[in-house]
Structure 1
């Protein structure tokens, strides 16, 4: 029976090991599929702009992003193959253990069969029982014969079960090997495509010399748009700070009036002159963040927003980042600063709020659609390059609520949303705040 329990324990362990691997493998597979979707999205937009003789910044960003995504996909496939190699090794070892256990079970079963054959006639069994010294011993011998028969049946069932487990493991091993071959083929295809795209990128880099003037003009235009957006954001935040300061001053004045009324009532009852009550001034705040999170409601919303760092939904349901936060260099001396993320998405895609909050500004940008600014306590999320807007100033919004639709460039046919996060009066990198697909 100890042997039977050992076999059962091995089977249970194999089941749990398979589950753990399945979860890890599923995550990697989902990541690979997500990267493939992003690559396909960029392919569609690049095909739509491939006839243009002059490369634009968006096309250059798309090419760079494609190369990065393919490198990530190749790395993901490498991780998947390493997991498969490990499972192949584990399954091979487990099959060997099960075969050894099966051999032991068969030997034990053969011994039972030989014993049963030697005592197969009823006469020998009856003599074995009647040879007992007393009734108790005879009863025990009857039970022993019954248990022996039951044990033989159980042993046969365990042999059959172990054989099936071995067959299943062998089939799983074959599937693992086939999956590995398929992944390696896909990885090689990705490497070939990557090499071709790197060659295309080299041509693009060489074209910067001849098109540097055009790129600088386009970057100047983009920087002007970014400056207009930044001024609009700063103005909205200043307005919020001023309103918070006015509310604090008003609250202090009301409190002072109440204190003065109390003092007047006390003095009248005591027949004394009332003492002057000083109006308490709101504490001077050294930062915009402290002013914006001064009230309990704002502090709570700020903490909730901060608590969701790394798990905020994306501002679009499907998209890929074509330009990240920070400074970017194109060619020799052609630089551009980005306060947020440029996210390529599908035509007509819905743009949604990343967290609960209140719309504090809806701005129509000159030549760049609309921008929406939503406040989350001391944090602000900004959504620009919107074709249309479905919210108004002062409106409460919830996480993933649609606030507008993404605008499509009429010349290129590409659709990009610009997204920013501000803490107080300073922009911060949104990438660590968004959930990973």
Structure 2
């Protein structure tokens, strides 16, 4: 009995341990996340080293350092969660060890009592006397079975004590291992804090250099704002044209459907009128041939067939875009939306230099509003379409090319290209090469990537996958 209870208890403990490991925020998941964060930090560190060698202190360096600081803080927070889990495991292990010790003491006391009883009744004569003093043969058999069960009970007691001692030993060893793990994680935490302080100093150095170049960078941002203004104007003009053409096409198709329905209706009215006239003529003939009969031919009074009233097509939802009026446009829009967060980057190697929306440069008076994201990459890097679609327009902005690709009601824009590899109205697949990245004044590759829902700017970083 005790052996079965002990086995059930162990099975339950193992099941709970496995369940805990599968829960969100488990130690294994946190370690995996920590490795991903560290990989991103290492990549940023290497890219930043290269950037510092080749360029002056600029927005790209600041953006990368700021991102590295955010990742470092995430790493420290991740380690804190690991420590909390380890401390919880240590506390739980201590409670379990104490409980096992108490159970072991209880088992030993019970076993000692059974040994004392067995010792006092160790004589074979006593056992035989116990059996033969039975009142009947069946009673004697029951006494034999009782003695056998008692012997098995003592054997189970001994086995349970040994098993409990082994589990207790394993728990103590596991506790020591967990304590060592905690010490190792604490060391990692201290190392991360030291790295964080160094990176804060690095950021302050870059900010100091940026402040010294504030006038120069201000000119760069002013030039970018002028280019952005021209780009937005060209994009709006192109998208407005697409919307107008789509609306005209939808209107023409609606008129064509109405004309076809009207022609069909006219045919039905003409056929009904012809049937009425034929019926009336037949009635007149019958009346002339049978003047004595006052009855009126049923055909003469037959109701005139009328054209069926025109059925109105179901109205589309007010929120539906005219750019989704065709089945293909509707399909691509839906497919594009379903890939939010999983779209590829337009360049194979790149880092975000300026994020989407309003921004300010720490420690300076510089401000701006980016309609998309500015990506730093290699000069001449291949720029690819992030999704299937149709090249809506190609235009020149201050000597560099921009490509506008339509994906149903969505548009992607790839600006600051030195060359273009596609043509207007060309249908393209995702990953199609659109052109190559142009170089900025410092000789580094750079492109502007915008994402629009009709004329509304969206944040591309929430649509493309994480590096």
TM-score (norm 2): 0.73
Match of 1:291 among 304, 307, 322: 322
Larger Cα-atom Rg: 2
More displaced stretch, 325-334 vs 127-136: 127-136
| Structure-1 residue corresponding to 2:269 | 267
User: What's the offset of the Cα at 1:135?
Assistant: 4.0
Q: SS of 2:270's equivalent?
A: helix
Deviation track 1:81-122 (CA, whole Å, cap 9, x = no partner) reads 122112211121122112222222232333333444445565
Matched, 1:339 2:359: no
| Structure-1 residue corresponding to 2:459 | 429
More displaced stretch, 402-411 vs 152-161: 402-411
More displaced stretch, 273-282 vs 289-298: 273-282
C-alpha distance in 1 between matches for 2:356 and 2:37: 20
Distance verdict in 2 for CA 1:279–1:142, change over 3 Å: closer
Superposed, 1:345-384 pairs within 5 Å as: 357-360=388-391, 373=405, 375=407, 377-380=408-411
Superposed, 1:47-66 pairs within 5 Å as: 47-52=49-54, 54-66=56-68
User: What's the offset of the Cα at 1:320?
Assistant: 6.7
Distance verdict in 2 for CA 1:84–1:264, change over 3 Å: same
Deviation track 1:285-308 (CA, whole Å, cap 9, x = no partner) reads 977x63234456655665666566
C-alpha distance in 2 between matches for 1:232 and 1:87: 61
C-alpha distance in 2 between matches for 1:189 and 1:159: 45
Match of 1:163 among 152, 162, 165: 165
C-alpha distance in 2 between matches for 1:153 and 1:415: 80
CA contact (8 A) 2:401 2:418 kept: yes
User: Unaligned regions of 5+ residues in structure 1, if any?
Assistant: none
User: What's the offset of the Cα at 1:406?
Assistant: 8.9
CA contact (8 A) 1:370 1:387 kept: no
C-alpha distance in 2 between matches for 1:128 and 1:345: 96
C-alpha distance in 2 between matches for 1:347 and 1:172: 55
| Structure-2 residue corresponding to 1:394 | 427
Q: SS of 1:271's equivalent?
A: helix
User: What's the offset of the Cα at 1:426?
Assistant: 0.9
Distance verdict in 2 for CA 1:307–1:150, change over 3 Å: farther
CA contact (8 A) 1:324 1:340 kept: yes
CA contact (8 A) 1:232 1:363 kept: no
CA contact (8 A) 2:236 2:455 kept: yes
CA contact (8 A) 2:332 2:389 kept: no
| Structure-2 residue corresponding to 1:327 | 358
Deviation track 1:230-249 (CA, whole Å, cap 9, x = no partner) reads 45654564454345424422
Q: SS of 1:79's equivalent?
A: helix
More displaced stretch, 313-322 vs 186-195: 313-322
More displaced stretch, 73-82 vs 47-56: 47-56
Distance verdict in 2 for CA 1:270–1:159, change over 3 Å: same
Distance verdict in 2 for CA 1:4–1:95, change over 3 Å: farther
| Structure-1 residue corresponding to 2:88 | 86
C-alpha distance in 2 between matches for 1:164 and 1:362: 76
User: What's the offset of the Cα at 1:42?
Assistant: 1.3
C-alpha distance in 2 between matches for 1:154 and 1:413: 82
CA contact (8 A) 2:235 2:404 kept: no
C-alpha distance in 1 between matches for 2:31 and 2:89: 16
More displaced stretch, 108-117 vs 204-213: 108-117
Distance verdict in 2 for CA 1:145–1:276, change over 3 Å: closer
User: What's the offset of the Cα at 1:215?
Assistant: 0.7
Match of 1:77 among 64, 76, 79: 79
CA contact (8 A) 2:238 2:393 kept: no
User: What's the offset of the Cα at 1:55?
Assistant: 1.0
Match of 1:33 among 32, 35, 40: 35
C-alpha distance in 1 between matches for 2:154 and 2:421: 75
Distance verdict in 2 for CA 1:317–1:51, change over 3 Å: closer
Distance verdict in 2 for CA 1:165–1:385, change over 3 Å: farther
Q: SS of 1:261's equivalent?
A: helix
- Higher RCO structure (Cα 8 Å, ≥6 apart): 1
TM-score (norm 1): 0.77
| Structure-2 residue corresponding to 1:219 | 221
Aligned length: 430
Match of 1:312 among 342, 345, 352: 342
